[in-house]
Structure 1
């Protein structure tokens, strides 16, 4: 949070020990930790209040729903493309079968006429 390393923490401890004294140091640390806890809780409440006011949860849900809808649309387009490809292939197979049937009928007619 404050990016305090061990040397800085040691220096602060020594200064606090000299200024406050060994008798009052535990009480001072206890008071400081209580104040830090209160400040953290206050900031948490403020953050939650702001998120509630702007509807952050609703915005997150809406963005998630939009993402899902985009994925569904992409899947839908892919399925339509596959369907079109299959229809084209079926049409080609029908044409090939029709041509083969016509050629077979012509071949049978030629054999019968000979």
Structure 2
């Protein structure tokens, strides 16, 4: 954006040495550094705001493309039934029971049960107690 070459910085330094007395030079450099920091902060804020707006506009454009593609696909395939994939067959034990002429095995899914919560007292009980020869 604002390009400052090293030769321009050196020229500014020489002019500052000629115009500003040596005892006021450190204060002038601090003030210049302060203002340069503020300018950089504003430039970074502007750049990040611009990048955010650009990203949002790209997302909106992509959403429009996806919606148009979805509409096109839905027009081409209006009411096709959803085909389900076949489930995996029963385990080998069920096949062996069917081959033997017995009734096929029925698989029952067991519900998952959460482990009971343990209190701090229970945790302390589970830990081994120190003996006389161990260090804590």
TM (normalized to structure 1)? 0.48
TM (normalized to structure 2)? 0.41
Larger Rg: 1
